[in-house]
Amino acid sequence: MAKEAIKKIKLQIAAGKATPAPPVGTVLGPAGINLQDFCTKYNDATRDKMGDILPVEISIYEDRSFDFVIKTPPTAFLLKKYAKIQKGSTKGSNEKVATISKETLKEIAEIKLPDLNAYDVESAMKIVAGTAKNMGIAIEGEE
């Protein structure tokens, strides 16, 4: 019989940089899992994505064992990274802070596709384009 998860915790942690200190320790400590064990496994699993912020979903079981699923980086994080900006517009779509190409948009959509509610790259591109517009990032060839 499969183990039943008693708790699910979602966090966003920098890849390869999880430590038992806050914020990881303060969230996972009360759950009773071995923090050092989690940090070691997470850091090993994310070493190739160093510098990215990655959402992780941790399932904790009755015997205090755990497993985790690493998701793709948040769309806003990827847009800022590819547009080479520190933050999005404070006025939303009324203020343009950067421009990205259609190829960049497609690249981000392909990265995000497994975690999006879309079946193909074109649908994923529309979702990412909406996020970009709200952040004040224009897409070449679109108004």
Model confidence over 47-80: pLDDT tens digits? 888 888 889 998 888 888 888 888 888 888 888 8
Q: What is the mean pLDDT of residues 109-136?
A: 87
CATH class of 5-70: alpha beta
Name the DSSP letter for residue 70.
Answer: E
Model confidence over 18-35: pLDDT tens digits? 888 888 888 888 888 888
- Can you give the residue ranges of every domain in the chain? 5-70, 75-139
CA 96, CA 110: separation in Å to the nearest integer? 24
3-class DSSP assignment, residue 23 = coil
Distance set, CA 32 to CA 7, 25, 57, 58 (Å): 11, 10, 16, 13
CATH class of 75-139: mainly alpha
CA 127, CA 139: separation in Å to the nearest integer? 13
